[in-house]
Structure 1
């Protein structure tokens, strides 16, 4: 095994243990509860537990800032037309780095830490989280490739309390 793979020994060992008791082989590809959740990649968010869901109940789409990007829209179209998605939640969260840092701060932090020039990247930073959440949910509602009338809601998850609040 080369050096790149040894960096993953801990998670490969955990996967070996997981595979020995794996019992999700009977799940269907469809979202059993008809739900898609767009949320942030923040480790403080456990989407299934947060919503009382089990594996197979929902399609979970994660990115920095829970932003509705072209790729998220593409994925939602596939979910809605092929995988049983009938409702979509966009879940932002409190204390999100994407809603509290400026572009210059993010660039400086990355460049200082690694020397990598990231000025050409759009990080999808958020100046007003509630307004951005409203805009992103509206982007889904008006996307012409999704079924008319698909339920779409925007929410804010509080990472300090675990509570979810409707916001858009």
Structure 2
């Protein structure tokens, strides 16, 4: 049995034991979390979240990419989130590669240079601060002052905030009401 087949079997067992879900599409806590895809991080446990409370966006390194900004813009503008919590973690795989080295590997293996940024980093706190600043400067997010960054220690499970001066350096119009738009 493949891993995917095993997951489907697990889902059938889990789904059979669940009561029907009736959660609203908007996250109850009005928060979105951006974090790493690392399999050691269970953000629902780390942050004490329950289903329906937050949007959780994951990618390699938990870095702020154009797609993260796109997802957060939709999250805020159509689904009512206000706060953004960035969570990087210790012992991250993105600290163990270099942009140039990984780009060269992809080119050598595929014959195609990747069009996307690799976004590796060496300084964890500096990358959290850079990600916070990117979001605070984004013209597409409504609440730059509500973006905060943290580091999760995978050994102790503790979360510590990375101080990033400023709360956004631009003014944005706040919508009077958030709604789902038909498209």
- Structure 2 distance, partners of 1:34, 1:94, is 27
Report how many residues are paired. Answer: 162
Of 151, 154, 161, the residue aligned with 2:146 is 151
TM-score (norm 1): 0.85
Report the secondary structure of 1:13's partner residue.
Answer: helix
Q: 1:32 touches 1:84 (CA, 8 Å); kept in 2?
A: no
- Structure 2 distance, partners of 1:104, 1:73, is 24
TM-score (norm 2): 0.79
CA change 1:104–1:150 in 2 (3 A) is closer
Residue matched to 2:34: 38
Residue matched to 2:88: 92
- Structure 2 distance, partners of 1:109, 1:146, is 35
CA change 1:44–1:109 in 2 (3 A) is farther
Report the secondary structure of 2:62's partner residue.
Answer: coil
Q: 2:106 touches 2:113 (CA, 8 Å); kept in 1?
A: no
- Structure 1 distance, partners of 2:104, 2:140, is 38
Deviation track 1:24-58 (CA, whole Å, cap 9, x = no partner) reads 62011111011100000001111111111101100
> Is residue 128 of structure 2 the alignment partner of residue 133 of structure 1?
yes
- Provide the aligned C-alpha RMSD in A: 2.3
* Larger displacement relative to structure 2 (18-27 or 132-141): 18-27
Structure 2 gaps, min length 5: 165-183
* Larger displacement relative to structure 2 (39-48 or 128-137): 128-137
- Cα distance, 1:122 vs structure 2: 2.8
Of 72, 75, 80, the residue aligned with 1:76 is 72
Deviation track 1:92-118 (CA, whole Å, cap 9, x = no partner) reads 100001023223554577789xx4456
- Structure 1 distance, partners of 2:155, 2:111, is 34
CA change 1:104–1:33 in 2 (3 A) is same
